[in-house]
Amino acid sequence: MKDESCRRCGNDLEVNKKCDVCYIPNQMYCHECGYVSDEQIHVQCMISSKNHVSLVN
Ligand SMILES: [Zn+2]
Ligand SMILES: [Zn+2]
């Protein structure tokens, strides 16, 4: 998924934050202009990091 480029200046984005659970980058930033992308929430990771919260189906 190297499709990410800055919306403002078009430069390549760099990893700003990684998921605590799966270590996949979930937020990117542009050190050219300071643009920071939205943080992607991994729902499954959040659930597993909370020790398997049981959800009602
Ligand atoms: Zn930029
Ligand atoms: Zn994750």
Print pLDDT tens along the chain (57 aa).
456 799 999 999 999 999 999 999 999 999 999 999 999 999 999 998 876 555 555
Q: Which two tokens stand for residue 11?
A: 């430069």
Q: Residue 21 forms beta bridges with which residues?
A: none
* Ligand 1 mean position, distance from CA 7 (Å): 7
d(CA 41, CA 27): 9
Q: Which two tokens stand for residue 45?
A: 């990771």
* Ligand 2 mean position, distance from CA 27 (Å): 11
Q: Which two tokens stand for residue 17?
A: 């934050």
* Ligand 1 mean position, distance from CA 30 (Å): 5
Q: Which amino acid is at 32?
A: E
Four-point Cα dihedral 9, 11, 12, 17, nearest 10: -40
Q: Residue 12 forms beta bridges with which residues?
A: 5
- The pTM assigned to this predicted structure is 0.72
